[in-house]
Amino acid sequence: MQSGAERETTGGFSFQEQMSQKEGKETTEAGKSDSKAGPSEAIFERVKTQLRARLGSEVYSSWFGRMKLMEASKGCVRISVPTAFLRSWINGHYLDLITELWKQEAPDTLKVEIVVRTATRNVRATQENKPAAARKAATRPQTALASGTLAGTPSARPNPAKMPEVEGRSNILGSPLDSRYTFDSLIEGASNRVACAAARTVAESDSNAIRFNPLFLHASVGLGKTHMLQAIAAESLRRKPQARVVYLTAEYFMWRFATAIRDNNALTLKEQLRDIDLLIIDDMQFLQGKSIQNEFCHLLNMLLDSARQVVVAADRPPSELESLEPRVKSRLNGGVSLEIGAPDFAMRLSILKQRLASAQAEDGSLDIPEEILVHVARSVTGSGRELEGAFNQLLFRHSFEPQITIDRIDEILGHVCRAGEPKRVRIEDIQRIVARHYNVSKTELLSNRRTRTIVKPRQVAMYLSKVMTPRSLPEIGRRFGGRDHTTVLHAVRKIEGLTDGDRQLAQEIELLKRLISDQA
């Protein structure tokens, strides 16, 4: 989901464009198109009713009262709002809920997007007197194309002399790019400096000077993976306008292949995907299905064997992506894997200052004291997305509370990030950190293997899950491969007994506790 993208161009046009281009056709055809929108509108009304019931009328009126259904077709739902602020707030706080409610009504839904409708209206108003071809080019969303153009941006308009070549490839499109996600807007810090350096090298290198292939970036949610991937795509296209760059989310990749198979167009899709210089895949953890993974593996092998660059991102290392086929994991493990960590205080403060500067560019009267930003940076210690949400909340409140105090900040942000409270430790974090410490994989940790090298880390992880989380013994057992609660109890007692007489193990436990607390 990218801001500024009103619709994805997938070889056709959105519902609204189809309607406008069919004005000269028979009324019966337009009527058929209208009738297809009926079920989606009914679902939309039921989803809004559920939102109002769950969140209350006041919250609903504040954030959802101006939502409109823009498009619902082929498993993709687009809901428009009038401002970028509304889109950002809904994406950050309510998108998962909206997606859940929509999937309850339509289980075949692949994704739900929130977009800003103002941009589309303005573009259409200024383009209505232009030829149809010009309107189509002007309203195309920012997208990484196999033809190597950033559609929708003046700096990347195709050369008229090469239009036949561009048009010949324009039906293979990636996921929309957000024009804000560039290296210039990417804040670097200790937690992402190495990953940034590798990403810049990939974007700036010629296709015959590949150094990191495949480049695999992994981080928890909200730490800037998508920003970095889109920055690679944007910078590569800026430096090499005719490069064939494809940026895709794993979900979009699956949807394109499923659609191509349904339309008996899979061979054409495969051939076009092979004709690229740089492939970027986001959210690899969502790649599901044996047949889809086989297709991806063939594509990956072909690109790597042809010295084409591949960049992949996920929320954990390749070895911990249990849903991936072994062949895919093996290929991904053959490249360079880099982790992006949580931002430190200096980096969080820089992010807030950058966001403030962007807001002040739109509203020159905006003035938030630096001590407020420092306090927020110290209080909100989670992901960049949490920091973004805290800043948006601060910006919203500042519009009618200009003289806001630090005490008031804690009260306002309390329900968003629980400022000042310790972060909740997750069992997944414990498993990942313990596995890394003892040099075993998470898969082995959850397996039925009983070798000493696996049993000890497993028991330590179970013990830490009991003492560092509020989870019950049965719940912990389920999270460790479906084990019985008595197995967890045995592990807890075993580690407690060993730490009394084993100084080295006691030190290991304390070290792991600190690592887990810092990560959380």
Q: Nearest CA to 143 among 132, 130, 158, 128? A: 158
Q: Return d(Cα 72, Cα 111) in angstroms, integer.
A: 10
Q: Which ranges of 12-71 does DSSP label H, i.e. alpha helix? A: 15-21, 27-55, 57-63
Residue 275's DSSP bridge partners are none
Residue linked to tokens 């959850």 = 446
By DSSP bridging, strand 278-282 and strand 111-116 are unpaired
Is residue 519 helix, strand or coil? Answer: helix
Q: Return d(Cα 226, Cα 518) in angstroms, integer.
A: 23
Q: Return d(Cα 6, Cα 157) in angstroms, integer.
A: 19
- Residue 118 marked in a binding site: no
Residue 308 near residue 299 (C-beta atoms within 8 A): no
- Residue 341 marked in a binding site: no
Residues written for the chain: 520
Phi, psi of 215 (to 5 degrees): -90, 120
Residue 320's DSSP bridge partners are none
Q: Return d(Cα 191, Cα 178) in angstroms, integer.
A: 23
Query: What is the spatial order of strands in the sheet that 111-116 belongs to?
Result: 68-73, 76-81, 111-116
- Residue 226 marked in a binding site: yes
Q: Return d(Cα 480, Cα 463) in angstroms, integer.
A: 12
**Tokens encoding 499:** 């730490």
Binding residues for ATP: 222, 224-226
Binding residues: 222, 224-226
